[in-house]
Structure 1
Amino acid sequence: MTKHYDVEAVRKLFPAAERLTYLDSGFQTPMSTPVRRALETFIDEAYETAGPKSVWIERMEATRAKLAAFLNAVPEEVAFTKNTSESMNIAANALPLAAGDNVLMVHGDHPNNAYAFLNLARKGVEVRFVPMTETVNAESFRPHIDARTRAISMSQVTFHAGHRFDVEGVGRLCAEAGLYYVLDIMQGVGVVPIDVRRVGATFIGSGTHKGLLVPQGLGLLYWDRTRTELEPAYLAAISLARPPADLIARPDDLEPAPTAARFEIGNFNLPATHALGAALDLIGSIGVENIAAHCFDLGDRLIEGLDACGVALVGPRARAHRAPHIYVAALPAEEWLDYFASRGVRLSPERDGVRISFGMFNTAADVDRFLDVVRERGVRPGRSPRAA
């Protein structure tokens, strides 16, 4: 039991966390028992009855409603996609950008956010990168706005060092300057609280295989439905306000749906939406604020231990600027990753070291195990953390 919730009870729902020291939820969260059960229910129904599709769609819409409530949105503002990259591309291509316009982004942010906008160079749209610093807020962007700036796109949390940016302050700047605002919440959602009303973004995109606990293949897209001028770059019957009942295309009726369904195309990843419903129930039973507070405590313990080992932390140290759950230790990945794996510790290589990323199931013992493995290799204060 921690002071925030019964983490030992939660841990029992993640069997992989019992078999190894899993510190890689920033890459992919291990499957929980509730998610597995939801998937098994879908598989059993498909196997035994070839699928009650109307029931599956009802469950999907129930998940959409849960997801909307989780984001402080309404269901009509939430679309399902394949992943964050698709969400970012949908958003970039929906903005009414023309030759000579520019979009501001943070240098070194996730590449698939950047590529969605860099691809608009074929239309004459320019991407301008502002420096990534420990603190990124409205003032980071303000000096770079000119008469042809049309949008800002950024992440809530960086994947490579756990910066947590002032996304609400940037939202206020966009409202003040009349800019579109596209936000990637992939690395934060499920651990870092998000309120779309307070953020004020035009679009918010994410996948679900990290803090939202679902296997890869499902994403989400929030759309500010007051921005009715934003239309999809592609179209399917499901995207229309009035899909033809006889499934014969009508060239004279192409009005997009008044909801975020305008950005959906084709069939859905139904099993994943069922899994997401179960995951949201689990997250809701704990509370994102409690998950964040628990991960912050683990992060404090990790930073203290790294300092004692003489290993530098890459990225911000202060709680005000760091994500609760993502930390990079300055241990060269090419020298340390296999060593950690041989000791049963799962983590990811990153630009400047190895990334330790916590989930709701991690404990202080996981942090201590990581630090013990570091010390086993002979790292001590005053000595280089590089392998001999």
Structure 2
Amino acid sequence: MVSRPLSRKTLHDPENTKTSPRENDTNEDNRLSEKFATFRHLVPITQNPDVIFLNSASAPPSNLVVHEAITKYSSDALYEPYPYAKWQGTRQEARGLIARCINAETPETLAFTRDTTEGLGGFIRALAGGREGFGKGDNVVLVDNEHPNMVYCWLALREQGLEVRIVPTVEEARRTGRIRAVGPDTLRPYVDSRTRAVGISSISFDAGQMNDVEGICREFRPRGIHVLADVSQHVGIARIDVQRMDVSAAAFSLHKGLNCPTGIGALYISPRAFAELGDPVPPIVNMAAVRNMSENLLVSADEPVDYFPDARRFEHQNMSLVGVAAAAAFTRFYLGVLGPADVEAYLYNLTELLKRECEGLGIGVAGPMERGERAPHICVLELAGETWGPYLTRVCGARITVNRLGIRVSFGFFNSVEDIRRLVKVLEIGVAKGLRVRGT
């Protein structure tokens, strides 16, 4: 069969000189495509003809920026008698860079954690053990498609009397055929005078909707309700401003948009929320949390414990310093070379192009597609995962995620129109072979 060309608006790439009919957009689209084409070589797996990597929402493949940072770390460990002072300096540099990345008030509002779950759990346990704790009748409000790690962190506190209220959105989406971003209107019927917190992802991991965290905070934070955000699918992918959002806290791993190895994350706590917690005791206390730690490492049972007056009290002494080295290197590259606004715009262009091509094949895309209501990098194709997942992996080496909604495709800065071209060709062949498309 003859494969149809990419239709309607296409991004410029070195092999495709078609331009958009919308002249005001063409130059910008071409600039972005040409810019990111120059960085594709930094991700060697893109040169493998047997693989199309489309799974950045799980974890992107590594890149030469991170590889160089890890190699240097290893070299320091091999040849320097005491590299720890240098590594601690890198730790502080990384803290400052990531604070810039999310527009935190100061670097000290950030603590490095092992992952998102540890960050979420640290804040939740601090809230549970704070001035008031949780009493019978207190509640937290979540949505039913929230990431399991957020939900389980709260469910673990039910024995303290906390009620976990799950807002139903999945059935409504099935009934209407439309997945919507969550905002204050969605949560309002479930929030009352005993609501202590709202837990919400800024970008959903399954359908990629971009929830209105800023609107949720605007309505509920003045009522003394904390808003804890999971921003793992946001940081390094789209511009984010935690001060403008006005979240109480935000947790995220660094192995997604910031391309680090697994085993390192971060917890942001706003100064206002920290004060509201009332000098919280971390769920796990270690020497890195204590400001008055004696240099001789002797601790008296009678001495006061003076914790750091900010998020740093949630940090551990022995953490992934190699992860910190990777974080400093890639976040510096992201902020200074890739550019958050350009990354966001480029990823939006890729997902919009894939959606148009899928529409031409009769393949639907789950979730909202309007910018501002969806993630730049996630596109969920309404295909039966049990048949299409193995087919895509076998035929073109596509690395994708099969989830409850279908086939989740997710892009990184290294993806290109050529990746979409290769995927669309295989989708077209699958449709012609009679592989089932949902709704047909």
Q: TM-score range by the shorter chain?
A: over 0.9
Question: Partner of 1:377: helix, strand, or coil?
Answer: helix
**CA-CA distance at 1:385 after TM superposition:** 2.1
- Who is 2:109 aligned against? 77
2:414 partner letter: F
From 292, 308, 311, the equivalent of 1:242 is 292
Does the Cα contact within 8 Å between 1:310 and 1:379 map onto a contact in 2? no
Aligned length: 385
1:44 partner letter: S
**CA-CA distance at 1:147 after TM superposition:** 1.5
Q: Deviations over 1:32-60 (max 9, x none)?
A: 11110000000111122354101110111
Between the aligned partners of 2:420 and 2:82, the Cα distance in structure 1 is: 44
2:370 partner letter: A
- Who is 2:358 aligned against? 306
- Who is 1:359 aligned against? 412
- Who is 2:89 aligned against? 58
Does the Cα contact within 8 Å between 1:191 and 1:289 map onto a contact in 2? no
Does structure 1 residue 117 correspond to structure 2 residue 118? no
**CA-CA distance at 1:4 after TM superposition:** 2.6
Does structure 1 residue 99 correspond to structure 2 residue 135? yes
Unaligned runs of 5+ in 2: 1-12, 14-29, 170-178
Question: Partner of 2:355: helix, strand, or coil?
Answer: helix
Does structure 1 residue 8 correspond to structure 2 residue 61? no
CA change 1:107–1:322 in 2 (3 A) is same
**CA-CA distance at 1:164 after TM superposition:** 0.6
- Who is 2:322 aligned against? 271
Does the Cα contact within 8 Å between 2:69 and 2:326 map onto a contact in 1? yes
Does structure 1 residue 40 correspond to structure 2 residue 71? yes
**CA-CA distance at 1:308 after TM superposition:** 1.0
Moved more, 360-369 or 128-137: 128-137
Question: Partner of 2:112: helix, strand, or coil?
Answer: strand
Q: 1:80-229 residue pairs with structure 2 within 5 A? A: 80-95=112-127, 96=130, 97-100=133-136, 101-132=138-169, 133-226=179-272, 227-228=274-275, 229=278
**CA-CA distance at 1:259 after TM superposition:** 2.4
Between the aligned partners of 1:84 and 1:313, the Cα distance in structure 2 is: 28
From 343, 347, 352, the equivalent of 1:291 is 343
Instruction: Determine which structure has more spread, i.e. the larger CA radius of gyration.
Output: 2
Between the aligned partners of 1:243 and 1:267, the Cα distance in structure 2 is: 15
Does the Cα contact within 8 Å between 2:119 and 2:266 map onto a contact in 1? yes
- Tell me the percent identity: 31
1:385 partner letter: V
- Who is 2:25 aligned against? none
Between the aligned partners of 2:160 and 2:294, the Cα distance in structure 1 is: 33
Between the aligned partners of 2:232 and 2:398, the Cα distance in structure 1 is: 23
Normalising by the residue count of structure 1, what TM-score does the alignment of the two structures yield?
Answer: 0.95
Does the Cα contact within 8 Å between 1:23 and 1:358 map onto a contact in 2? yes
From 422, 433, 438, the equivalent of 1:369 is 422
Does the Cα contact within 8 Å between 2:181 and 2:374 map onto a contact in 1? no
Does the Cα contact within 8 Å between 2:102 and 2:235 map onto a contact in 1? no
Question: Partner of 1:367: helix, strand, or coil?
Answer: helix
Between the aligned partners of 1:24 and 1:127, the Cα distance in structure 2 is: 31
Between the aligned partners of 1:124 and 1:250, the Cα distance in structure 2 is: 35
Does the Cα contact within 8 Å between 1:153 and 1:183 map onto a contact in 2? yes
Does the Cα contact within 8 Å between 1:189 and 1:212 map onto a contact in 2? yes
- Who is 1:316 aligned against? 368
**CA-CA distance at 1:240 after TM superposition:** 1.3
Does the Cα contact within 8 Å between 2:141 and 2:165 map onto a contact in 1? yes
From 21, 30, 41, the equivalent of 2:61 is 30
1:371 partner letter: V
Q: Deviations over 1:104-151 (max 9, x none)?
A: 111111000111111111211111011335021112122221111011
- Who is 2:27 aligned against? none
1:295 partner letter: L
2:422 partner letter: R
Question: Partner of 1:24: helix, strand, or coil?
Answer: coil
**CA-CA distance at 1:340 after TM superposition:** 1.4
Question: Partner of 1:289: helix, strand, or coil?
Answer: helix
Question: Partner of 2:271: helix, strand, or coil?
Answer: coil
Does the Cα contact within 8 Å between 1:23 and 1:347 map onto a contact in 2? yes
